[in-house]
């Protein structure tokens, strides 16, 4: 039995727009009163019923579904990501593996207790790749929703331009009577086009998140708080793959990565403003993104719509305008500083924690730095979903700064860096720890610029979101 036009045969194939239009006008609509009413409004109630025998079940489901499904299909994204990870093998986590991870994280927390007062964040979890997808998809939805809305509008615009340019021959190929106003058809198809756009973007999100799930070793390795409730999530299968080429005992590798993840989650849970500020910075960048509508219109017009893989590929390459706006550049600058500070703190605290215990610390640290510098799936995900190039160029400077603060003021002084957003190092201070220490000693305020103003706006947004959820990011914590 062949697939309907809206039923993707695989994660790489979006719906075929031309086939959708043909099926729409050549199927049996008797079971769908909404479609019948729409055709009557267009003056087509007397069309021979024989012309309506080919409507697919997927189109009927679309017409019967809610019009408020969102700008991308989250269920489809999750399903595509799960199928992608299962296609390469994704064994369920056994009870024994879960116990092993709990023990490793317990040891990691004991070591971290010696070097930071930030408390244990949450439980330990051994996750399969599919479980990581399920756990983090709500966070991905929040990150990419602004882009999905822009893409949906751009595809609608492209379709409208196509319909306005239709001639009588084009109408007849779609099964429409000559002389009919194409704009009326487009008006009736708006809900379907919106759902098609949501499906296409959902498949793109699913493919990207699925690729990332096959590579990440821990739940928040990308540096963003994707895992809720402070859970220290380890992906054992990916950790084993990472350890294979290092020629280091696998247990030592597991411990080192567990310490890093546990430290990261302590930071997110103990410093209430950090996670919301990071998420808000990504959303700010994505919300100001410019969709290249001309490129999308050209892609829809020039692509072979009978080749879904080609159409999706062209659209993916045409989503974003080439130059980021001034607002995006400001958001990106602050995001880079925040990510660098968070990961620099994790680097420094983790090294202090494991130094007395792991003989291959230098090799492990270098392996993580190389992995981060090479980009990999995480960088490709952000580039494809929000047009964002994340480079860890400031992380070494941030780690060196935290080391200098600890040498000067001890571990408590190092962690007090996070006590307020205005107290953290600025971009200008990252490469100059002495300048930052002088500001701390003198009690002077940092020189403000547009980036600091942008951070204030992001923090206000994050605070509002936390308060709406019943949390208070300014509540006292161990960082004060």
Helices marked H in 355-394: 361-373, 377-386
pLDDT 10s digits, 18-32: 444 444 444 444 444
Take residue 347 and report the two structure tokens written for it. Answer: 């680097």
Between CA 475 and CA 480 the distance in angstroms is 10
Q: Is 323 helix (H, G, I), strand (E, B) or coil?
A: coil
Between CA 401 and CA 434 the distance in angstroms is 9
Least confident of 20-24, 75-79, 99-103: 20-24
pLDDT 10s digits, 452-467: 555 556 556 555 554 4
pLDDT 10s digits, 266-280: 999 999 999 999 998
Between CA 326 and CA 323 the distance in angstroms is 9
pLDDT 10s digits, 57-66: 334 444 444 4
pLDDT 10s digits, 196-253: 777 777 888 888 899 999 999 999 998 899 999 999 999 999 999 999 989 899 999 9
Beta carbons of 293 and 157 less than 8 angstroms apart = yes
Inform me whether the pLDDT recorded for 125 exceeds 90. yes
Inform me whether the pLDDT recorded for 46 exceeds 70. no
| Confidence band of 13 (pLDDT split at 50, 70, 90) | very low
Least confident of 68-72, 103-107, 378-382: 68-72
The residue ranking higher by pLDDT, 107 or 177, is 107
Sign of CA pseudo-dihedral 83, 85, 89, 95? negative
Q: What is the pLDDT of residue 282?
A: 86
Q: What phi and psi, each to the nearest 5 degrees, are found at residue 314?
A: -65, -40
- Residues 395-399, mean pLDDT to the nearest whole number: 91
| Confidence band of 126 (pLDDT split at 50, 70, 90) | very high
Q: Is 126 helix (H, G, I), strand (E, B) or coil?
A: strand
Percent of the chain clearing pLDDT 70 (strictly above): 60
Q: What is the pLDDT of residue 386?
A: 72
Supply angle C-alpha 180, 184, 186, rounded to 5: 115
- The DSSP H or E segment spanning 125 is strand 124-126
Take residue 188 and report the two structure tokens written for it. Answer: 């009736």
Between CA 106 and CA 169 the distance in angstroms is 71
């Amino acid at each position: 039995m062949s697939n309907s036009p809206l039923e993707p045969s695989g994660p790489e194939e979006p719906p075929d727009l031309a086939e959708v239009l043909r099926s729409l006008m050549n199927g049996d609509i008797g079971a769908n009163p909404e479609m019948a009413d729409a055709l009557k409004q267009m003056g087509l109630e007397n069309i021979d019923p024989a012309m309506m025998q080919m409507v697919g079940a997927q189109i009927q489901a679309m017409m019967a579904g809610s019009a408020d499904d969102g700008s991308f299909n989250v269920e489809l994204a999750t399903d595509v990501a799960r199928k992608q990870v299962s296609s390469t093998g994704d064994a369920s986590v056994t009870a024994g593996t879960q116990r092993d991870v709990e023990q490793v994280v317990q040891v990691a927390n004991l070591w971290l207790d010696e070097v930071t007062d930030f408390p244990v964040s949450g439980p330990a979890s051994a996750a399969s790749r599919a479980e990581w997808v399920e756990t983090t998809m709500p966070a991905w939805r929040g990150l990419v929703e602004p882009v999905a809305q822009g893409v949906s509008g751009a595809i609608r615009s492209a379709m409208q331009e196509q319909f306005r340019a239709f001639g009588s021959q084009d109408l007849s190929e779609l099964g429409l009577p000559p002389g009919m106003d194409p704009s009326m058809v487009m008006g009736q198809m708006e809900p379907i086009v919106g759902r098609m756009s949501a499906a296409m973007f959902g498949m793109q999100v699913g493919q990207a998140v699925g690729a990332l799930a096959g590579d990440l070793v821990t739940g928040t390795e990308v540096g963003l708080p994707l895992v809720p409730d402070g859970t220290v999530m380890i992906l054992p299968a990916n950790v084993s793959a990472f350890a294979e080429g290092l020629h280091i005992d696998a247990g030592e590798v597991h411990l080192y990565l567990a310490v890093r993840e546990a430290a990261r989650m302590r930071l997110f849970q103990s410093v209430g403003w950090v996670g919301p500020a990071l998420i808000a910075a990504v959303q700010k960048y994505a919300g100001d993104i410019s969709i290249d509508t001309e490129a999308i219109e050209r892609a829809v017009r020039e692509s072979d719509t009978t080749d879904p893989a080609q159409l999706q590929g062209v659209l993916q390459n045409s989503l974003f305008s080439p130059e980021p706006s001034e607002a995006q550049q400001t958001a990106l600058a602050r995001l880079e500083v925040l990510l660098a500070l968070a990961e620099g703190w994790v680097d420094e605290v983790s090294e202090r924690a494991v130094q007395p215990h792991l003989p291959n610390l230098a090799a492990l640290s270098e392996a993580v730095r190389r992995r981060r510098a090479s980009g990999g799936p995480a960088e490709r995900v952000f580039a494809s979903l929000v047009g964002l190039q994340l480079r860890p160029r400031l992380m070494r400077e941030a780690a060196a700064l935290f080391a200098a603060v600890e040498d000067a003021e001890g571990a408590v002084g190092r962690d007090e860096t996070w006590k307020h957003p205005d107290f953290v190092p600025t971009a200008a201070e990252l490469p100059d720890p002495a300048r930052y220490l002088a500001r701390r000693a003198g009690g002077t305020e940092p020189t403000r610029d547009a980036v600091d103003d942008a951070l204030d706006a992001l923090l206000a947004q994050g605070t509002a979101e936390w308060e709406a959820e019943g949390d208070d990011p300014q509540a006292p914590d161990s960082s004060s």
